[in-house]
Structures are given as structure tokens and as C-alpha cells.
Amino acid sequence: MTLYKRGRIFWAYITLNGLRHARSTGTGNRKLAETIGRKFEEELLTCQEGITKLQPEMKFQELAARFIAEGEVKPWHLERLKQLLPFWGGLPLRSITKGTVRVYRMERLKQKKLTEKTISHDLAVVRHLLFWAQDEGIVAANPLTRLRLPRARHRKRPVLSFEEEQKLLTSAAVHLKPIILSAIDTGMRRGELLTQRWEDVDFQRGLLSVSHSKTAEGEQREIPLTDRMVSLLEGQRKSSGLVFTFQGNAINRIKTAWKTALKKSGIRAMRFHDLRHTFNTRLLEVGIVADVRKALMGHSLGDDPHALYTHVELPLKRKAIQALNAWIWEQVKAAKQAQQHLQVDTGERRLLGPPTVEVLSEKLKEESYERREKV
């Protein structure tokens, strides 16, 4: 490196591979100019070695834009960024610390009553983007590498009974009914159902291959169909396109229709995702082991080295769905019998009128005598 003074300002000249590079140091102080010149030389050497120049002054919103354009973006990244950018967007990456996380947590809790799980999901996206920035050479290190996110507490989730299921299906809008039934009998996520295509339904084999999933394990998994799922899909069968539509158009949201169906049915409040939990619980109740249930539902493997369910063969899945199918028919049969008894009892009451005390007393005596005779 050589310094030359032009007027009152020093210029740094550096020669690399026969090429001469020049830059103004912006100062007349020789010692300061030497420091600036050495940094200029380091930048040139870094570029020569193919190493990306660090950009710690980049703002978080610029990083988010680059990540969306160049990174592996998932739908939940975009959803979380809507909440993150108002607070994090204008912050330079070098200023982000664990203290920033504490401030963000307090701000979010002031705005709205949230669970720790929701805030942890937000911070997980921030940390993910910073790891991506580190891999891309934008920052030297991720300041949130060792950030501890509170573990979510597992809460008891409601399981839809067969009686509640019938009330819900009766009350649901026409376009929502098949989606609800499919969620109950396949355990598919809402996003998976709304992107499911006819090309991935095999009627001859009675199989549905998931067209699109949020997890790698869920992508292209095969789910055997119950009898009522086969009937449902056969009734609206097409050669291609989305399975579930509204007036021929794709369905993007079902939140309003779901809330309306719950209100009309009069059943307890629950999330649409609880239908997936219902599917899992019903399989558990008919004796299906965890690995088979996970294979059917496309659970994320995470870092579990002992996960075995990716090796679950199709015959095991078929047996699981056959068991579920048998359970469904038992519930249907029991519901019909209960309805018949109700109709008979109602008819008798209508013909005979309310029973008198004497009649009830005689009936109790007869039942007691019959029990003694059996003994």
C-alpha cells in the first residue's frame, strides 16, 4: 500500500495482480489515512478470495427483502414478518442483541394478550433470518445463537365426539362440509387440504397422496381413504385441479365459515386444527401405534434420531384406516339405533300422554321382579 497526498487529502494506492486500485482516505492525518488504507487493502483481498463483504449496517428490513428474494421462504415466514417488520425493520443488524429481544417481548405484550408460544415463534423467525445472514456473509455471527426460547406448555385439546361431528357437518356451509370431513378422516392440515389436487387421488387403490405439505415428511405421503371419503370424492370427481373449491375458485381462508358452523351447531369452541387432533385420537383409541399415526399425519421429524415412522409400509397404513373405518360404522350404527329408540319413545309419549305415578310404580315393580327371577 502506498499513500499519496492530493492537496490536503491522502489517497491509498494498492496493486493486486497487476491492477492498481485507488481510493481517497478523506483525511489529511497520515496515521488515520494508513488505517483506512489497510482496511481498503483487506476489502480488496477479501473480494479477491471470493469472500463476501460483511454488511453489519444493513437494516433488518433489507435483510428480510433479500431473504424473501433469495432464501428458502416458507409461508409462516411471511406471516410472521408482517408482525416483525414494524419493530425490527429499521434496526441495523449490528444493533440487534438479546436486549432487543426483551424490548420486543414487552412491546408485543403491551399491544395484545399473547402466549409465550406466539412470541417464541416470532423470535424463531428473527433468529432464522440472522443465521441465513451469517451463511451469506452479511454478518460475522448471529447475536441470537444462544437465545433460549421458552418451551410451550402442552394444553389439553378438545376431541370432537361423533355426535358433535354430525352436528357440525349439518351446520357447516356447503363448501366447508367436505373439508371438515376430510380433515377428520385423513388428519390433513388445513393448508394441505386447500392445496390438494385431483391428480393425486387414486380411486382404484383408494389412496390420496398429499400434494403439498409444510413438512418434508408430509410431502407426497400416502393416506388410505375411509369408505365415506371414497363416497365423498367419487361424488364430485374431476380429472384435474383443486379438490376443494368455492364456485370454481380456490379457497384461501375458511376462518369465517368455520366460526359460523361452530355457532350454528352449538358445540363447544375449538380450532379447525383440532380436527387433526381428533383423527390422531381416534386412531389411538382403536389401537394404532404412534409410528403409524405419525406416518399418516406427516409429522415433522425434527432432530429425533430414533424416529422410525418414515419406514412404515402402506399395508400398515391400510390396516390403521380399516380399523378407523370400522369404528366409524359402529358409531353410525349406534347413532341410528339411538334415533330409532328416541322416535319410538316419543311416539309412545304422544299416544299415551305423560305416565302417572301409579304406572311408573307398577313398571318399577315389574323390572325389580324380572331382575329377581334372573338371579
Q: pLDDT digit string (tens) for 72-97?
A: 888 889 889 998 999 999 999 989 98
Q: How many CB atoms lie within 10 A of CB 375?
A: 5
Residue 227's closest CA among 325, 152, 133?
A: 325
Residue pointed to by grid coordinates 330409532: 340
What is the mean predicted confidence (pLDDT) over 183-210?
95
Residues 33 and 64 in one domain: no
Residue 202 has pLDDT above 70, yes or no: yes
Q: Is 272 exposed, middle or buried (0-12, 13-18, 19+ CB in 10 A)?
A: buried
User: Model confidence at 6, in pLDDT bands (50, 70, 90)?
Assistant: confident
Q: Indicate if 37 and 85 belong to the same structural domain.
A: no
Q: How far apart (Å, rounded) are the C-alpha atoms in residues 41 and 199? A: 59
Residue 207's domain comprises 162-328
Q: Using 50, 70 and 90 to split pLDDT, how confident is the model at 47? A: low
In degrees and rounded to multiples of 5, residue 250 shows phi and psi of -65, 145
Instruction: Let me know whether 21 and 98 are in one domain.
Output: no
Q: Is residue 341 part of a domain?
A: no
**Cβ-Cβ contacts under 8 Å for 183 (sequence gap 6 or more):** 190, 193, 272, 275, 276, 279
Q: What integer is the mean pLDDT of 6-35?
A: 86
- CB neighbours of residue 179 within 10 Å: 24
DSSP at 11: E
94 and 168 part of one domain: no
Residue 369: pLDDT band by 50, 70, 90 thresholds? Answer: very low
State how far the Cα of 100 lies from the Cα of 294, in Å rounded to an integer.
Answer: 38
Statement to judge: residues 109 and 167 lie in one domain: no
Task: With cut-offs at 50, 70 and 90, classify the pLDDT of residue 306.
Answer: very low
More confident residue, 76 or 287: 287
Number of structural domains, the chain? 3
Pair (248, 292) in one structural domain? yes
Q: What whole-number percentage of the chain has pLDDT above 90? A: 48
At residue 218 the predicted structure's pLDDT band, cuts being 50, 70 and 90, is low
More confident residue, 20 or 350: 20
**What per-residue confidence (pLDDT) applies to 301?**
52
